[in-house]
Amino acid sequence: MIGKSGMLLVAALVPAWSALAQAQAQQSDMSFFVTSAGPGKGADLGGLAGADQQCKILADRVGAGDKTWHAYLSTQGPGAVNARDRIGNGPWKNAKGVVIAKDLAELHGNNNLTKETALTETGGVVNGVGDRPVMHDILTGSQPDGTAFPAGEDRTCSNWTSSDAGSAMLGHADRTGLRDDPPSHSWNSAHPSRGCSQQGLISTGGNGFLYCFAVR
């Protein structure tokens, strides 16, 4: 038989178990997140395949690895890839079950991405303007409509294989920062990085984070 103290302990644990179960259910239904960590080599992600693998690794850790995860990244030059073509058709939910966009048109228009909704895979908030350190810069290499930049000036750190020369187009996860950031597209095309190294990304206001989307 369970004594009075045991019953009190069970009663105290039930809300915690319930909250944990709810959080796990939401994360298993998650189809969008900002990575809580990058590979640590600046914008050298090992190409698109390496970036996708980083999304998969982090999704696995929170029980959402049974989906096909792609990083929101474009490439340039021959065979250029558009980020918008890599992520399925939506809708996409964050780790708390909040829909950030119902389809590609909404994602690249009036989406629901804010500091409070652009969450990591664990449901954490990404440091934005006013926090220290600021880490709101997200690697995208993309124009506002989610397409690739023309060949020429590097905006993808040699298609995500360089931690040296070049630059990467960045988005702002909190959609705030520069005064001339149009809110409609600052989430994916705010400004270029100061370089492709880890320190270059950090000094610009990021840490090599990615947007990850589950392809449906």
Average pLDDT over residues 112-141: 97
Calpha distance 67→181 (Å, rounded): 33
6-15, 64-73, 92-101: range with lowest mean pLDDT:
6-15
Nearest Cα to 44, choosing from 186, 161, 195?
161
Average pLDDT over residues 110-115: 95
Based on its alpha-carbon atoms, the radius of gyration of the chain, rounded to whole angstroms, reads: 19
Contact assessment for residue 111 and residue 100, using Cβ atoms and an 8 Å cutoff = yes
Angle (nearest 5°) at CA 91 between 54 and 207: 30
pLDDT band at 6 (very low <50, low <70, confident <90, very high): low
pLDDT band at 216 (very low <50, low <70, confident <90, very high): confident
Peptide linkage before 39 cis (omega within 30 of 0): no
Contact assessment for residue 39 and residue 161, using Cβ atoms and an 8 Å cutoff = no
Calpha distance 205→135 (Å, rounded): 5
Contact assessment for residue 141 and residue 155, using Cβ atoms and an 8 Å cutoff = yes
Nearest Cα to 33, choosing from 4, 6, 60?
60
Does 124 have pLDDT greater than 70? yes
Spell out the domains of the chain, with CATH numbers in brackets.
27-215 (3.10.100.10)
Task: Kindly give the pairing relationship between strand 206-215 and strand 137-139.
Answer: parallel
